[in-house]
């Protein structure tokens, strides 16, 4: 009898490998109930009938994940090394560019770490193996992002002010309560709301507006390390977008009763996320010496074209409507950056970044990008600020601004259709009055007043005596600010150092 | 009013560098009516309907084996959905 030569085992396809190494490793518990193992997926009212329907289009396995992530880090650290060795900071467009990066390190890495913590939680506590594995990958990604952002920007900390105590500032300084409250709001929700808040609304809908134009801006301003970590992080981001999209579709496909809950979260988290990235609008249009595109153009490209004309037409199938306040955001695209930067300008004496009046070249660009609205703001605020400068002063607002109870941004936004009429909304809850910058923030409060009445509002905290004392120097000391961290850019140590470095470079040449 | 998935744009932004040149060329060859936009450091490819990346096309231009997972090294962002991601092909499209 002849034995036929054994055929070599066929290599598994990508799909088979993925299934074998994720879904097939799951088992049904017998000693304990599912509710005992996964106690947190019941209380939000989301009904799930079959967790095996969770699909991960990336079909990653641990082995493939490690292989590509290691390669991404190798490439990034090679760039960081070369930049440091070649004194790359001297090749930036201008030292004032660095103010955008100061806001970045103060406001972002610590919340990448928050995202790492919450996705670790999802990797343990979501019932389905596909969802858990995707969350595990994202958890590791977010930790990598926090680390690579800190490593990358630590080089600049040797040469520029405004970066030395970002960790402490994040917990204390007024404008940093905006991202902090956003992420802590999401972290204190349930796992499904977290997935809609961060996975879908932030990662899929809005994150392109944070990273893509910004990293392209870094590339345009000689900031090779930031461009590299940005694109490196963003390559993970496409997986996160996929997880967010899968999360919303999964909830909608599992049970029709999930639709109104998901729609409510989408309305809320679109607006929360949109208000958060208002800071990015100000940075893009005013803080980059060389701009790639305006906030308005980025919003049209990455939000209106992609999301309104693409995504929401797809989600219509499930009965999802575009976020409730989306039209307000669209109407604001011409004025948002002007308003945000004006807030930053007048309060930068109490901040860890510097601002300055747009110079002649900046103003030319602003006029081209915003022909209808720039002249209005120029006449209303910048011409006055310039007159103060010309007479040897510098306009800072000596008072403390009222903050919106929900987004925590100073009340500098305006009524729709009237760019100079401040918008103010109020709700009374149990005899206390709360103030808001917009209909969006007000309705978020009205839906969950018990949560938002607890907001840690930096201005209220100062008045309550919790921030070092009643005067600006008291508060600045409690914040941990040092001279040179904030206020006017022109004449600051960063500005003078920059001129000295380049003066010397010219002499030697 | 629902606009059919086949007529709505989808797209992908890739890092624009030497490593990704073969990938970009493969996408250009395999997708008619592609719109290309260059921004500092990145290239944005958009198209109505669906956008396809074929492993064989990339390998032919790259001159070495290329697994579709490697797209993760190049991608910056996308819009649409990965309706297919297999050993030989990646397809981005809207579902509905």
pLDDT reported for residue A15: 87
Is residue A201 left, alpha or beta, with left meaning phi > 0 and alpha meaning psi from -120 to 50?
Answer: alpha
| DSSP H or E run through B93 | strand B89-93
CA distance A454 to A462: 16
ipTM rounded to 2 decimals: 0.92
Q: Is position A22 within any domain?
A: no
Instruction: For residue A46, tell me if it sits in a domain.
Output: no
pLDDT attached to residue A420: 85
Do the beta carbons of residue A236 and residue A144 sit within 8 Å?
yes
Exposed, middle or buried: residue A303 (CB in 10 Å: 0-12, 13-18, 19+)?
buried
Q: What is the C-alpha separation between A220 and A508, in angstroms, rounded?
A: 27
Q: What mean pLDDT is reported for chain B?
A: 92
Task: Work out the minimum CA distance from A362 to partner chain B, whole angstroms.
Answer: 19
User: Using alpha carbons only, what angle is made at residue A287 by residues A284 and A293, rounded to the nearest 5 degrees?
Assistant: 30
Asked whether residue A225 is domain-assigned, the answer is yes
pLDDT of B1 over the 70 cut: no
Give the integer Cα–Cα distance in Å for A331 and A417.
Answer: 8
Phi/psi at A464 (nearest 5 deg)? -80, -5
Distance CA A89, CA A93 (A): 9
Put simply, the answer to whether A239 touches B3 (Cβ < 8 Å) is: no
Q: How far apart, in whole angstroms, are the C-alpha atoms of residue B39 and residue B30?
A: 22
pLDDT in tens, A96-122: 999 999 999 999 999 999 999 999 999
Domain presence at residue A1: no
Asked if the structure places residue A11 within a domain, the reply is no
Regions of chain A short of the pLDDT cut 70:
1-10, 504-509
**How many angstroms away from the CA of A208 is the closest CA of chain B?**
7
Q: Do B73 and A237 touch (CB under 8 A)?
A: no
- What pLDDT score was predicted for residue A507? 45
Q: Tell me how crowded residue A493 is: count the other CB atoms within 10 A of its CB.
A: 16
Are the Cβ atoms of A57 and B86 closer than 8 angstroms? Answer: no
Residues of chain A contacting B81 with CB distance shorter than 8 Å:
57, 242, 245, 314
- The string of pLDDT tens digits covering residues A170-179 is 999 999 999 9
Instruction: With beta carbons less than 8 A apart as the criterion, state whether B64 and B26 touch.
Output: no
- List the beta bridge partners of residue B78: B12
Closest residue in chain B to residue A237, using alpha carbons only: B77
Q: Which residues of A touch B74 (CB under 8 A)?
A: 235
Q: Which phi and psi (to 5°) does residue A14 adopt?
A: -55, -45
- In chain A, whose CA is at the least distance from the CA of B46? A306
Task: Report the distance separating Cα B91 and Cα B14, nearest Å.
Answer: 15
CA distance to partner chain A, nearest, from residue B36 (Å) = 13
Q: With an 8 Å Cβ cutoff, are B77 and A309 in contact?
A: no
Contact across the interface for A317 and B85, Cβ inside 8 Å: no
pLDDT of residue A509: 39
CATH number of the CATH domain containing A279 = 1.10.620.20
* Residue B73: CATH number of its domain: 3.90.56.10
What per-residue confidence (pLDDT) applies to B89? 96
Q: How far apart are CA A363 and CA A356, in angstroms?
A: 12
The count of structural domains within chain B is 1
Tell me which residue in B3, B70, B82 faces A57 most closely, judged by beta carbons.
Answer: B82
What is the residue-wise DSSP string for A182-244?
Answer: HHHHHHTS-HHHHIIIIIIIIIIIIHHHHHHHHHHHHHHTT-HHHHHHHHHHHHHHHHHHHHH
Q: How far is CA A417 from the centre of its chain?
A: 27
CA distance A464 to chain B (A): 45
The parent domain of residue A356 ranges over 51-504
Q: DSSP secondary structure string, A14-54?
A: HHHHHHHHTGGG----SSS-HHHHSTTSSTT----S-GGG-
> Are the C-beta atoms of residues A262 and A75 closer than 8 Å to each other?
no
Other beta carbons less than 10 A from residue A206's beta carbon: 22
Whether the Cβ atoms of residue A217 and residue A298 lie closer than 8 Å to each other: no
pLDDT given for residue A215 in this prediction = 84
Domain of B36?
5-93
User: Domain tally for chain A?
Assistant: 1
Beta carbons of A216 and A292 less than 8 angstroms apart: yes
Residues from A contacting B (CB-CB < 8 Å) are 13-15, 57-60, 64, 68, 71-72, 208, 211-212, 215-220, 227, 231, 234-235, 237-239, 241-242, 245, 292-293, 305-307, 309-311, 313-314, 316-317
Could A238 and B68 be called an inter-chain contact, meaning their C-beta atoms sit closer than 8 Å? no
């Amino acid at each position: 009898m002849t034995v036929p030569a054994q055929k070599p085992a066929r290599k598994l396809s990508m799909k088979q490998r993925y299934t074998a190494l994720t879904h097939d490793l799951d088992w049904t518990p017998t000693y304990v109930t599912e509710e005992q193992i996964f106690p947190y997926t019941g209380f939000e009212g989301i009904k799930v009938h079959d967790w095996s329907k969770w699909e991960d289009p990336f079909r990653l396995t641990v082995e493939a994940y490690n292989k590509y992530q290691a390669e991404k880090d190798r490439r990034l650290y090679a760039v960081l090394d070369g930049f440091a060795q070649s004194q790359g900071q001297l090749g930036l467009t201008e030292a004032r560019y660095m103010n955008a990066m100061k806001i970045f390190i103060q406001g972002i890495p610590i919340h990448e770490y928050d995202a790492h913590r919450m996705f670790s939680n999802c990797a343990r506590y979501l019932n389905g193996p596909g969802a858990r594995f995707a969350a595990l990958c994202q958890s590791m990604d977010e930790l990598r992002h926090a680390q690579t952002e800190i490593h990358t920007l630590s080089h600049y900390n040797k040469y520029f002010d405004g970066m030395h105590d970002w960790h402490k500032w994040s917990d204390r300084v007024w404008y940093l309560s905006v991202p902090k409250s956003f992420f802590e709001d999401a972290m204190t929700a349930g796992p499904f709301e977290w997935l809609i808040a961060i996975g879908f609304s932030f990662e899929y809908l809005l994150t392109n507006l944070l990273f893509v134009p910004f990293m392209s801006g870094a590339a345009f301003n000689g900031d090779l390390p930031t461009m590299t970590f940005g694109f490196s992080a963003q390559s993970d981001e496409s997986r996160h977008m996929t997880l967010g999209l899968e999360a919303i579709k999964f909830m909608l496909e599992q049970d029709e009763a999930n639709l109104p809950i998901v729609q409510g979260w989408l309305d809320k988290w679109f607006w929360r996320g949109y208000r958060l990235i208002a800071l990015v609008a100000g940075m893009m249009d005013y803080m980059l010496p060389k701009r790639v595109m305006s906030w308005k153009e980025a919003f049209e490209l990455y939000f209106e074209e992609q999301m309104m004309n693409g995504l929401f037409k797809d989600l219509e199938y499930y009965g999802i409507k575009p976020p409730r306040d989306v039209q307000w955001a669209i109407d604001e695209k011409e004025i948002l950056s002007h308003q945000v930067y004006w807030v930053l300008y007048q309060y930068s004496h109490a901040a860890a970044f510097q601002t300055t009046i747009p110079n002649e070249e900046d103003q030319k660009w602003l006029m081209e990008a915003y022909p209808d609205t720039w002249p209005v703001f120029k006449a209303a605020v910048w011409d006055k600020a310039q007159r103060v400068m010309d007479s040897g002063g510098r306009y800072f607002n000596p008072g403390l601004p009222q903050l919106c109870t929900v987004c925590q941004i100073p009340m500098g936004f305006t009524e729709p259709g009237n760019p100079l009429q401040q918008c103010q909304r109020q709700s009374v809850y149990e005899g206390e009055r709360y103030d808001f910058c917009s209909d969006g923030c007000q309705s978020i409060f009205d839906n969950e007043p018990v949560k938002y009445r607890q907001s840690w509002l930096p201005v209220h905290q100062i008045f309550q005596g919790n921030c070092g004392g009643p005067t600006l120097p008291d508060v600045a000391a409690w914040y941990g600010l040092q001279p040179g961290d904030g206020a006017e850019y022109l004449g600051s140590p960063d500005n003078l150092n920059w001129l000295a470095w380049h003066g010397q470079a010219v002499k030697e040449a | 009013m629902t606009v059919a998935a086949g007529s709505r744009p989808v797209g992908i932004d890739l890092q624009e560098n030497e490593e990704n040149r073969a990938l970009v060329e493969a996408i250009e060859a395999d997708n008619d009516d592609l719109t290309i936009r260059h921004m500092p450091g990145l290239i944005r490819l958009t198209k109505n309907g669906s956008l396809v990346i074929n492993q064989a096309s990339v390998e032919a231009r790259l001159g070495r084996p290329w697994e579709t997972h490697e797209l993760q090294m190049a991608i910056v962002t996308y819009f649409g959905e990965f309706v297919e991601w297999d050993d030989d092909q990646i397809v981005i499209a809207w579902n509905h």
